[in-house]
A = this chain, B = another copy of it.
Amino acid sequence: MNKYALVIHGGAGIILKENFTKEEEDKHLNKLKEVLEAGSKSLATGKSAMDVVEQAVVMLENTPLFNAGKGAVFTYEGKNEMDAAIMDGTSSEAGTIAGVSNIKNPVSAARAVIDKSDHVMLVGRGAEEFAKEKGLAIEKPEYFFDQQRWDQYQSIKESCKQQLDHAGKDGSVLNILENNKFGTVGAVALDIQANMATASSTGGITNKRYGRVGDSPIVGAGIFANEQCAISCTGHGEYFIKQVVAYDVAAQMKYQGISLKEAASSFFNKIEKLKGLGGYISVDKNANIEMPFNTPGMYRGFVSSEDSQTKAFMYGD
């Protein structure tokens, strides 16, 4: 049988052992393993990389543990505003959705953009209308509500108000981001037909304003896949957009002939130098896996034909 691999992440950030009880830790790691086990079964039985990354991200969206779908963080207006994307490395087809509030699984709406439209990117109410017309599950605000996220939002709103009195160009929340994990979920996969795919989904930054969109739904920035590799990023979205991070990994491999591992070192050097924050997960056509990040932690895990035991981590060890 040909090789297969699945890598997933649930966001990078200040994820430190001292901030978690054993029970909370287990809850996160077990959920990652559950997603990996389901994906591993699918890949072993011949499912496509596209189907598997969608399935993995749907599972991560459906748990309130991560900042995507159910459990998305709240905007300045107290709403959930989600983005998602998916890309097929073989066909180069991509679909992305940004600024939607009522789609149960934004990643499936992004998939529908590929399958049921001639476009790549749909935003806002137009994207919601599209999803509804194509029969995707729509949910009321209550579905996305999570008490912990709401408390987080209230406390950040309060600290932002205070910061507004002192500094900050428009009182945006970037300067207090260090106290919050970057919430995104993502998956990359290699299937036994040697196709690769990538997907991502996010609720963005707590208390975000002005219809801010990060890197998650931006092809080249938050996700990219071709016939050599598949990449899904998480972190400070503005950095990832300006540095076109996901495509930069693929471009170095294509134009310099370097390996996935060498590209990961180069990412690490660059993000340190430019003071960005975040990481990415990646896979190549030989089932090599890299998961570099420069934050204290990143929820992450992988499984592959080389070792069918699922591996999940969250701290920087």
Contact = CB atoms under 8 A, between A and B. Distances in A.
B242 A94 contact: yes
Interface string A108-133: 00000000111111111111011000
Contacts of A244: 219-220, 224, 244, 247
Contact of A219 (B93, B172, B242): B242
A122 B220 contact: no
A159 B276 CA distance: 49
B118 A174 contact: yes
A141 interface: no
Given A130-B210, A244-B244, A99 B120 contact: no
Interface of A is mostly: mixed
A109 to B, nearest CB: 11
Interface residues of A, number: 49
Interface stretch (A249-257, A281-289, A305-313): A249-257
Nearest to A76: B126
Contact of A169 (B118, B126, B169, B251): B118
Interface centre among A122, A224, A237 (most CB of B within 10 A): A122
B242 A116 contact: no
A221 B247 CA distance: 10
Nearest to A87: B242
A169 B170 CA distance: 43
A125 B221 contact: no
Contacts of A243: 92
